[in-house]
Amino acid sequence: MSVDAVRAQLDVPSGEGRSLAWWGIVLTILTEGTLFAMLLFVYYYLFSRAQEWPLGDIQPPELFTISIRTAILFSSSATMSIADRALRRGRIGLTSVFLVLTFLLGALFLAGHVREMLILPEEFTWATNAYGSLFYVIVNFHGAHLLVGLIFLAFTFVALRRGRYSADSHEGFKVSGMYWHFVDAVWVFVFPTLYLVPHFLAK
């Protein structure tokens, strides 16, 4: 390629290809996803070796509240998508509304998590047996990711209000959305493992 050709190409509009932020988040999701896969592997590994499940006198988890919380979490993914679409049409106001809604839904889920962590120890703790250890570690690991996601959303909100994003430049917004969807997607695997397996695959 001659230098002139380079110069000609320099006029090519930017935006072709993915941004650095997009690459960063995709790779983060890959490795974090593997981390969760590892944890779930630990769960199924110990599950498959166990004679009984749940172990000891522990009762399978209660399903009602967690189902509602799951619905809440998944709807927050929907609101996030709506916010993203609104931003792409340049409707900053609508974007803000749905972003806040996403945040609130996430926070509600997390509040439910905190409540669970406060009452569950009456029944069993992480020190009760390996089942307890698995339950607490995995569920809190997801909780911690959710907290990070919420902080992420809060920053995105500030940036949005400061006018950092617009219809033409919404890559940063999209990236925080991707992280949020990731945290929700992880729940698609964590929820059946921690809450449904002890019921439906009980030994």
Nearer to another protein, 71 or 148 (CB): 148
Q: What is the DSSP letter of 97?
A: H
Q: Which stretch binds another protein (CB under 8 A): 27-35, 65-73, 105-113, 187-195?
A: 27-35
Distances from the Cα of 8 to the Cα of 2, 152, 198, angstroms: 10, 39, 63
Say whether 73 sits in a helix, a strand or coil: helix
Query: How far is the C-alpha of 150 from the C-alpha of 142, rounded, in Å?
Result: 12
Q: Which stretch binds another protein (CB under 8 A): 41-49, 59-67, 73-81, 82-90?
A: 41-49
Query: How far is the C-alpha of 67 from the C-alpha of 110, rounded, in Å?
Result: 14
Nearer to another protein, 44 or 199 (CB): 44
Q: Binding to another protein (CB under 8 A): which residues in 55-94?
A: 55-56
Torsion over CA: 31, 35, 36, 38 (sign): positive
Q: Nearest distance from residue 64's CB to another protein, in Å?
A: 27
Interface with another protein (CB under 8 A), residue from 74, 100, 133, 192: 133
Q: Which stretch binds another protein (CB under 8 A): 64-72, 83-91, 160-168, 180-188?
A: 160-168
Nearer to another protein, 36 or 70 (CB): 36
Q: What is the DSSP letter of 194?
A: I
Q: What is the DSSP letter of 60?
A: P
- Total residues at interface with another protein (CB under 8 A): 52
Q: Which stretch binds another protein (CB under 8 A): 19-27, 70-78, 103-111, 190-198?
A: 19-27
Rounded-to-10 torsion of CA 53, 54, 55, 56: -120
Burial classification of residue 77, based on how many CB atoms lie within 10 Å of its CB (0-12 exposed, 13-18 middle, 19 or more buried): buried
Residues lying near another protein in the complex (CB under 8 A) are found at 1-4, 6-7, 9-10, 12, 14-17, 20, 23-24, 27-28, 30-32, 34-35, 37-39, 42, 45-46, 49-50, 55-56, 126-134, 136-137, 151, 155, 158-159, 162-164, 172
